[in-house]
Amino acid sequence: MLRFAVLGIALAVVLATILLPPPVQGSHVPYKGKIEYIIHLSGEHEKPVFSPLRLLVPATGFLVNLTIIYDGQDFGNHTLTFKLKTGDVLEGTDREIVRGDTVYMEFEVNETNKIKYNPTSRSAENGTLYQLTEKQGGMYFYCIPHEGLGMKGTLVVGGETTATEGDAELGLFIRAYWIGLIGFAVMLLVVFISYYVIKSESRHHTDAREHQRKGLP
């Protein structure tokens, strides 16, 4: 009886591994992917700079996550201010960054020429839509106190690089691969366990028969 139960469970697990769809990870996420940049506020040839000064976003529909670290040469306070060609400054990006600070910014590159940005909660949900400045989807950022010293950078959306998008797809592929491999390992384990349980059960029967043959109670 136990043998059939174990076989049944083993079969169910094997069938479940094969037939059930793989778990969909992050299916609720509305964007295509996330790109993270760590920007250091440092100095070069006695001039303050953003490092890197060029942020590439592979395509629209990406969430951009910035970690801004002021750990470099002391130039007084900085800002990482996004500015449109119209002259409008993205709300909240004019905040001064003191040396030793780490500041986070997150925004969603929404359409071909728009970004959605929420300066307060770090979440792009319910943020404000800002028009980008160039046809390619570019946008400037600069430091208010050091703009004159050339402390400027650009955010470029689309066209320039597809490498990160490719990496994102590769990441998903690798995840699916591992899920498959773990599933297969679990299947093998179940088969081995069933084998040993059934084997021990038959030995048990032999013992029982031996027991009866000897005429023991």
Cis peptide bond upstream of 145, omega within 30: no
Q: Which of 6, 105, 143, 156 binds Cu ion (CB under 5 A)?
A: 143
Question: Minimal distance in Å, beta carbon 151 to Cu ion?
Answer: 5
By the 10 Å C-beta count (0-12 exposed, 13-18 middle, 19+ buried), 22 is classed as: exposed
Residue 181 CA to residue 60 CA, distance in Å, equals 33
Would you count residue 116 as binding Cu ion (CB under 5 A)? no
Residue 74 CA to residue 196 CA, distance in Å, equals 69
Would you count residue 33 as binding Cu ion (CB under 5 A)? no
The H-or-E segment that residue 16 falls in is helix 2-19
Nearer to Cu ion, 60 or 79 (CB): 79
- Part in contact with Cu ion (CB under 5 A); list of ranges 7-15, 19-27, 48-56, 185-193: 48-56
Would you count residue 78 as binding Cu ion (CB under 5 A)? yes
Nearer to Cu ion, 34 or 99 (CB): 99
Nearer to Cu ion, 39 or 190 (CB): 39
Question: Minimal distance in Å, beta carbon 52 to Cu ion?
Answer: 15
Residue 29 CA to residue 8 CA, distance in Å, equals 38
Q: Which of 33, 48, 138, 153 binds Cu ion (CB under 5 A)?
A: 48
Q: Are 118 and 102 in contact (CB under 8 A)?
A: no
Question: Minimal distance in Å, beta carbon 159 to Cu ion?
Answer: 29
Residue 36 CA to residue 106 CA, distance in Å, equals 9
- Part in contact with Cu ion (CB under 5 A); list of ranges 31-39, 49-57, 74-82, 170-178: 74-82
Residue 85 has, within 13 A of its CA and on its CB side, a CA count of 11
Nearer to Cu ion, 103 or 143 (CB): 143
- Part in contact with Cu ion (CB under 5 A); list of ranges 6-14, 24-32, 78-86, 203-211: 78-86
Structure tokens at 65: 């996550």
Q: Which of 55, 108, 146, 155 binds Cu ion (CB under 5 A)?
A: 146
Residue 161 CA to residue 57 CA, distance in Å, equals 8
Structure tokens at 217: 């109670």
Q: Kindly list the residues in this chain that would bind Cu ion in the complex (CB under 5 A).
A: 48, 78, 143, 146, 151
